[in-house]
Amino acid sequence: MNLKDIHNVYFIGIGGIGMSALARYFKFINKNVSGYDRTSSPITDELIKNKILVHFEDSMDSIPENFKRKENTLVVYTPAVPSTHSELNFFLNEGFEIKKRSEVLGIITKDSFCFAVAGTHGKTTTSCILAHLLKECDVPFTAFLGGISEDFNSNFVLKGTKYSVVEADEFDRSFLQLSPNVACITSLDADHLDIYGNGEELEKSFKDFTKRLKPEGVLFIKNGLALEGVTYGIEDDSDFRAEDISVENGTYIFNLVTPKGVLKEVCFNKPGRHNLLNGLVAFAMAAEANFPMQELANALGTFMGVQRRFSYQIKEKDFVFIDDYAHHPTEINAVYQAIKEMHPKKSITAVFQPHLFSRTRDFAEDFADSLSQFDMILLLEIYPAREEPIEGITSDWLLDKIDNKRKKLISKSELIAEIKKCKAEVLVTMGAGDIGLEVPKIKRELAYAS
């Protein structure tokens, strides 16, 4: 496929965070862009503001006429779209050029110096940190991000095409379409078992990803993973590591040890050891491309963050409200550790919306253990996303497994009233479904109440 021959790009699932970044890219290079999504959202609102045509009804009549010409139209879809989708089937039956998001991302980035961030956790934060580091070094790059970077206020950055930053997504083995120069693997916890079946198949897929690196490519791995590469870690024997760590006013201060020397008193403002690890590997990847290490270290201190990744909504002496995308037990544990480190001795109320019936089933015991740590748990119904219900797998079933007397299953309509009742010192909302849409309402109500 030659992108120069494409005039129209049509997206099925345009409101997804990864799909919308691609839509912005094609709009930026002056292609006609349109698409479908199931529901409107802040992302689709922003696309429409940028003169991208978006509709919300699965109907051939809603597809603009010029996008029905197959000789110069590319159709991009996400695997989350069901096979029964009528628009997708129209394009399939008419013989259009149809590609998954991951294939298109591979085509766009193959001729650039590509940084690819892989791992079952930490991809979005790491790629956003890396994009920020490149910006601070005045590097010509394009970034496709899996979240809204607070440094760019966007999930897409285009400051040139020499370098690219992408998330190497393991879902549906998407990352096997990439050919990176520098890559990292942040974690290998079992996930997406609806795709892989078991953890061994997931690990095999990551090993296949390591073979996708270009000749002379470099792989960074978190110390302790069963892979070969340049290691990074915290206070261990890694090639890149943080040592002598202290916390001052919510900021990490540490010495950054590299194979070429030690950078003293580096600052990093995002709470949680997991985020510090993300910062370390972003630094290491950029250093591998020979950008000045002191500039990179300075840039770590100015990284603002990512929306819904340990995002402070309210931060006062007597009350803190944090929102996070955590939707896996390992991520919930990381959020808990970060809160305890930054806000010791404060009681924590967690609001959690499980994401996917299959994930809830596959990790039920781990979810119960991770949620039991909090002082109080408010549990919402499972967000189905692309799935149909699974018999017996409900939030009520999960609630029974949580070893904590202060737990309650609630609806979204009860959420604000229940939060007010519990009078938490620290409130954290977590989940990858539509709980993020509730956050502004909660913030508004709690800020007004205070």
Q: Is residue 104 part of a domain?
A: no
- 125 in a labelled binding site: yes
Main-chain dihedrals φ then ψ at residue 211, nearest 5 degrees: -80, -5
Main-chain dihedrals φ then ψ at residue 248, nearest 5 degrees: -130, 115
Q: What is the CATH number of the domain that holds 12?
A: 3.40.50.720
Q: Is residue 236 part of a domain?
A: yes
The per-residue pLDDT for range 69-88, each reduced to its tens digit, is 888 999 999 877 888 999 99
Q: In whole numbers, what is the pLDDT of the chain averaged over residues?
A: 92
Close Cβ partners of 39 (under 8 Å, ≥ 6 residues apart): 15, 56
Pair 215, 296 in one domain? yes
The per-residue pLDDT for range 295-336, each reduced to its tens digit, is 999 999 999 999 988 999 999 888 999 999 999 999 999 999
Pair 290, 400 in one domain? no
Q: Is residue 149 part of a domain?
A: yes
Count of domains for the chain: 3
What pLDDT score does 73 carry?
95
Final residue before a domain boundary, out of 274, 300, 326: 300
Pair 328, 426 in one domain? yes
Pair 90, 153 in one domain? no
**pLDDT-based confidence at residue 145 (cuts at 50, 70, 90):** very high
Close Cβ partners of 166 (under 8 Å, ≥ 6 residues apart): 105, 109, 114, 115, 116, 117, 127, 143, 144, 178, 180
Is pLDDT larger for residue 37 or for residue 196? 37
Q: Is residue 105 part of a domain?
A: no
**pLDDT-based confidence at residue 423 (cuts at 50, 70, 90):** confident
What pLDDT score does 203 carry?
85
Pair 133, 233 in one domain? yes
Pair 69, 124 in one domain? no
Q: Is residue 279 part of a domain?
A: yes
Final residue before a domain boundary, out of 57, 80, 99: 99
Number of Cβ within 10 Å of residue 40's Cβ equals 13
Pair 431, 361 in one domain? yes
- 120 in a labelled binding site: yes
Q: What is the CATH number of the domain that holds 203?
A: 3.40.1190.10
> Amino acid identity of 368?
A
Residue 344 scores a pLDDT above 80: yes
Q: Edge-to-edge, what's the strand order for the sheet holding 53-55?
A: 53-55, 32-36, 8-12, 73-77, 97-100
Lowest model confidence (mean pLDDT) among 34-38, 136-140, 190-194, 374-378: 190-194
Q: What residue numbers bound the domain in which 365 lies?
A: 311-449
Query: 242, 254 in Cβ contact below 8 A?
Result: yes
Q: Is residue 306 part of a domain?
A: no
Pair 270, 144 in one domain? yes
Mean pLDDT, rounded, for 428-442: 95
Final residue before a domain boundary, out of 255, 280, 300: 300
- 233 in a labelled binding site: no
- 122 in a labelled binding site: yes
**pLDDT-based confidence at residue 394 (cuts at 50, 70, 90):** very high
What pLDDT score does 172 carry?
72
Q: What is the CATH number of the domain that holds 422?
A: 3.90.190.20
Q: Is residue 346 part of a domain?
A: yes
Residue 280 scores a pLDDT above 90: yes
Mean pLDDT, rounded, for 210-227: 94
Pair 250, 120 in one domain? yes
Pair 244, 116 in one domain? yes
The whole-angstrom separation of Cα 240 and Cα 223 is: 10
Pair 323, 443 in one domain? yes
What pLDDT score does 4 carry?
79
Pair 154, 225 in one domain? yes
Q: Is residue 166 part of a domain?
A: yes
